[in-house]
C-alpha cells in the first residue's frame, strides 16, 4: 500500500531504527548486527486440491536470536512477501525487548487469500506449511514459536500444534510450539482479545499522564473522545469494543476493505461486526453514512486514529491530510517512515506499533509459560487467596458485632474482595502491568533526555539498548 517512491516496509523499519541509533552510543559493528535479519527461509509446496496440485509460497524469517525461542505471528494474505515478513520480524525483536518477553524476533507468512478456500482445504494447506517449518525447527517450543496474525487465528494455531505433536510424539512440551491456540487445545484465557486489550491499556496509560495528552493537544480522560478505527478484524474489533463499552470512547467511523461507516453519534461496534460477519462488508449497515472510498476517512476529524488493519496506510501521499492529533498504531507499520516525519512536524503524537500492539505477544508469553509449566495460572493459589480473604471479612464482621458498631460490608465489595483471581484476571493483570511498565520505560527516554521528541524513537532506544545489552553479555 506504500505511496510511489517511498521505501519498502523493511527499509522503513530500518530508517526508523537508524534514526534511533544515531542518538545511541553503539559500536557500528553491533549496530549492524542488531539491524540485519539473520535468515529468511522460503518454502514452496504443493497440495492436491480440487483435483489439481496447487503450489503455495511461504516464509519464516528470523530477525534476531539474541534470545530463544524467537517469536512472531504467521500471516495469511496475498500481499505476503520476503520484504514484509522481514520487516515484521524486525519489529518483533524490538517489541519483545520493549515489553520484556524473553524472545528474539521472527515472523512468517503464506501467500494465500484464506477466503478463497474452505475450512478443510485450509487445514490441509496449513498442516503442509507447518510440516515444512517443523522439520527445519522453524516451529519448535525452544526455538521458534509462531502465533496468529492477519488472516489466521485460533483454528490455524490448533492445527499447527496438532501437526507438531504428530511429528514429535515424545515431546512433553509440544503444546508450547505455538501460541494463540484455543483454550481447549492448550491456549490461555484472554489471548484472542489480547492485542485489542493491549491497545486499550496503552491508551489508558497514555491518558493517565496529562503532560503527555497535552503534547497531543488533548486533555481529560478517554471518556467522550472520538475515535476512527481502520480494520474490524481481531485487533480493531476488540480495541473498538473495549474502548467504546468500557471507557466511553465514541467510535465515529469504522473503515474496512469495502468502504467506511460514519456516525458522529457513535457506532455500535458489536452491531457493525455482526453486519460484517453476515454480509462480508460494511455496505448496507443501517443507521450510519456509508462511504465507498474508505481510505479517505482516515483523514476525518477525530481525537484518536486507530489504524488496525495493515501496514503503509498512512504514507507521504496522505500524511499531511490526517487530522487526528493522536494516532495509536494497532497494526504493524501503518505509518511509513516518510509519513512519520510529516506527522511529527505537524505535532501529532504517535503511540508506536511495537508498544501499542504488544498485548498479543505478551499474552502469548503467558500461554507459552503455561504450556511449559503444564498448569493453569491460579490453580494452586486461587482458593487459598479466597480462604484468607474470608478470614479477614469474618473477623471484621465479628468485631463489628461484638462491639455493637453496626458495620456492614457492602455486598459488591464483599463479592469482589472474596473472589480469588482466576486465569483471566491474572492474564489481564499481567498484561496491564506489562503495558504500564513498557510505557514508563519509553516515557523516561521521551521526557528524560533533551534529544528525543517522539515515542517511537524512545521505544526504539529502549529496545535496541536491551538487545545490545544481551549481545554484549554474550561477548559480542
Ligand atoms: P485480521 O485479519 O483479523 O483483521 C484485519 C482486518 O483489516 C480485516 O477485517 C480486514 O478486512 C481489514 N482490512 C484489510 N485490508 C484493509 C484495508 N485496506 N482497509 C481497511 N481494512 C482492511 O488481522 P489482525 O490480526 O487484526 O491484524 C491486524 C494488524 O494488527 C496487522 O498489522 C497485524 O500484524 C497486527 N497485529 C496483530 C496481532 C494479533 O494478535 N492478531 C498482534 C500484533 C499485531
Confidence tier at 379 by pLDDT (50, 70, 90): very high
Instruction: Return d(Cα 295, Cα 281) in angstroms, integer.
Output: 15
Q: Cβ(294) to ligand 1 under 6 A?
A: yes
Q: Cβ(332) to ligand 1 under 6 A?
A: yes
Say which residues have a Cβ less than 8 Å from residue 427's Cβ, sequence separation at least 6.
188, 189, 190, 191, 194, 363, 366, 377
Query: Which whole number is the average pLDDT over 393-415?
Result: 91
How many separate helices (H) and strands (E) can be counted in the chain?
16, 12
Q: Nearest CA to 281 among 264, 259, 262, 297?
A: 259
Catalytic-role residue among 107, 225, 241, 300:
107
Choosing among 3.40.50.300, 3.30.413.10, 3.40.50.2300, 3.40.50.10860, the CATH entry for 9-193+444-473 is 3.40.50.10860
Is 225 considered catalytic here?
no
Q: Which atom of ligand 1 is nearest to the CA of 1?
A: 18
Q: Is the pLDDT of residue 159 over 90?
A: yes
Q: How many CA atoms lie within 13 A of 440 on its CB side?
A: 7
Say which residues have a Cβ less than 8 Å from residue 406's Cβ, sequence separation at least 6.
400
The single residue listed with the C-alpha cell 484464506 is 114
Fold: same for 9-193+444-473 and 217-347: yes
Q: Which atom of ligand 1 is nearest to the CA of 309?
A: 7
φ, ψ of residue 371 to 5 degrees: the values are -65, -40
Please report, rounded to a whole number, the percentage of residues in the chain having pLDDT higher than 70.
100
Query: Which whole number is the average pLDDT over 387-416?
Result: 92
Confidence tier at 127 by pLDDT (50, 70, 90): very high
Domain boundaries, the chain: 9-193+444-473, 217-347
Query: Which whole number is the average pLDDT over 18-46?
Result: 96
Instruction: Return d(Cα 108, Cα 134) in angstroms, integer.
Output: 13
Q: Nearest CA to 6 among 342, 348, 352?
A: 342
Give the model's pLDDT for residue 170.
98
Give the tens place of pLDDT for each residue, 431-443: 999 999 999 999 9
**Best residue for ligand 1 mutational test, from 235, 291, 365 (most atoms within 8 Å of Cβ):** 235
Say which residues have a Cβ less than 8 Å from residue 232's Cβ, sequence separation at least 6.
240, 254, 256, 269, 272, 273, 276, 308
Query: Which whole number is the average pLDDT over 82-110?
Result: 98
Q: Cβ(231) to ligand 1 under 6 A?
A: yes
Give the model's pLDDT for residue 2.
56
Q: Nearest CA to 101 among 377, 388, 357, 358?
A: 358
Q: Which helix (H) or strand (E) holds 446?
A: helix 423-448
Please report, rounded to a whole number, the percentage of residues in the chain having pLDDT higher than 90.
96
**Best residue for ligand 1 mutational test, from 107, 233, 351 (most atoms within 8 Å of Cβ):** 233
Second-level CATH architecture of 217-347: 3-Layer(aba) Sandwich (3.40)
Instruction: Return d(Cα 35, Cα 12) in angstroms, integer.
Output: 12
Question: Residue 310 Cα, ligand 1 centroid: separation in angstroms?
Answer: 6
Query: Which whole number is the average pLDDT over 126-140?
Result: 98
The single residue listed with the C-alpha cell 478443510 is 120
Give the model's pLDDT for residue 73.
98
Amino acid at each position: 500500500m506504500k505511496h510511489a517512491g517511498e521505501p519498502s516496509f523493511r527499509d522503513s523499519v530500518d530508517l526508523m531504527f537508524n534514526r534511533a541509533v544515531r542518538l545511541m552510543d553503539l559500536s557500528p559493528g553491533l549496530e549492524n548486527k542488531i539491524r540485519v535479519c539473520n535468515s529468511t527461509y522460503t518454502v514452496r509446496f504443493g497440495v492436491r486440491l480440487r483435483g489439481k496440485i496447487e503450489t503455495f509460497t511461504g516464509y519464516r524469517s528470523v530477525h534476531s536470536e539474541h534470545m530463544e525461542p524467537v517469536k512472531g505471528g504467521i500471516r495469511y494474505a496475498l500481499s505476503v512477501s520476503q520484504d514484509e515478513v522481514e520487516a515484521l520480524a524486525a519489529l518483533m525483536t524490538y517489541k519483545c525487548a520493549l515489553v520484556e518477553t524473553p524472545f528474539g524476533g521472527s515472523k512468517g507468512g503464506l501467500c494465500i487469500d484464506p477466503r478463497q478456500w474452505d475450512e478443510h482445504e485450509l487445514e490441509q494447506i496449513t498442516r503442509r506449511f507447518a510440516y515444512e517449518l517443523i522439520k527445519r525447527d522453524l516451529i519448535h517450543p525452544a526455538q521458534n514459536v509462531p502465533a496468529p496474525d492477519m488472516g489466521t487465528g485460533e483454528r490455524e494455531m490448533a492445527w499447527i500444534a496438532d501437526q507438531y505433536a504428530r511429528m514429535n510424539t515424545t515431546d512433553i512440551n509440544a503444546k508450547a510450539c505455538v501460541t494463540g491456540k484455543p483454550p481447549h487445545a492448550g491456549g490461555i484465557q484472554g489471548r484472542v482479545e489480547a492485542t485489542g486489550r493491549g491497545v486499550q491499556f496503552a491508551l489508558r496509560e497514555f491518558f493517565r499522564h496529562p503532560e503527555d495528552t497535552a503534547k497531543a493537544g488533548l486533555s481529560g480522560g478517554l471518556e467522550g473522545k472520538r475515535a476512527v478505527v481502520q480494520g474490524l478484524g481481531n485487533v480493531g474489533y476488540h480495541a473498538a469494543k473495549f474502548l467504546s463499552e468500557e471507557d466511553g470512547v465514541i467510535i465515529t467511523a469504522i473503515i474496512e476493505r469495502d468502504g467506511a461507516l460514519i456516525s458522529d453519534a457513535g457506532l455500535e461496534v458489536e452491531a457493525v461486526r455482526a453486519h460484517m460477519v453476515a454480509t462480508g462488508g460494511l455496505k448496507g449497515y443501517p443507521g450510519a453514512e456509508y462511504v465507498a472510498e474508505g481510505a479517505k476517512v482516515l483523514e476525518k476529524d477525530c481525537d484518536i486514529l486507530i489504524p488496525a488493519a495493515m501496514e503503509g496506510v498512512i504514507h507521504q501521499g496522505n500524511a499531511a491530510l490526517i487530522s487526528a492529533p493522536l494516532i495509536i498504531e494497532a497494526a504493524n507499520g501503518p505509518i511509513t517512515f516518510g509519513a512519520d516525519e510529516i506527522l511529527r512536524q505537524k505535532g501529532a503524537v504517535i503511540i508506536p506499533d511495537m508498544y501499542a500492539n504488544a498485548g498479543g505477544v505478551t499474552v502469548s508469553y503467558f500461554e507459552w509459560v503455561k504450556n511449559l509449566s503444564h498448569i493453569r495460572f491460579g490453580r494452586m493459589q486461587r482458593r487459598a487467596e479466597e480462604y484468607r480473604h474470608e478470614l479477614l471479612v469474618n473477623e471484621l464482621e465479628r468485631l463489628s458485632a461484638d462491639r455493637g458498631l453496626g458495620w456492614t460490608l457492602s455486598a459488591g465489595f464483599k463479592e469482589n474482595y472474596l473472589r480469588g483471581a482466576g486465569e483471566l484476571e491474572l492474564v489481564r493483570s499481567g498484561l496491564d502491568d506489562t503495558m504500564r511498565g513498557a510505557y514508563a520505560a519509553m516515557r523516561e527516554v521521551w521526557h528524560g533526555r533533551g534529544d528525543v521528541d517522539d515515542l517511537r524513537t524512545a521505544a526504539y532506544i529502549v529496545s535496541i539498548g536491551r538487545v545490545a545489552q544481551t549481545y554484549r553479555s554474550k561477548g559480542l
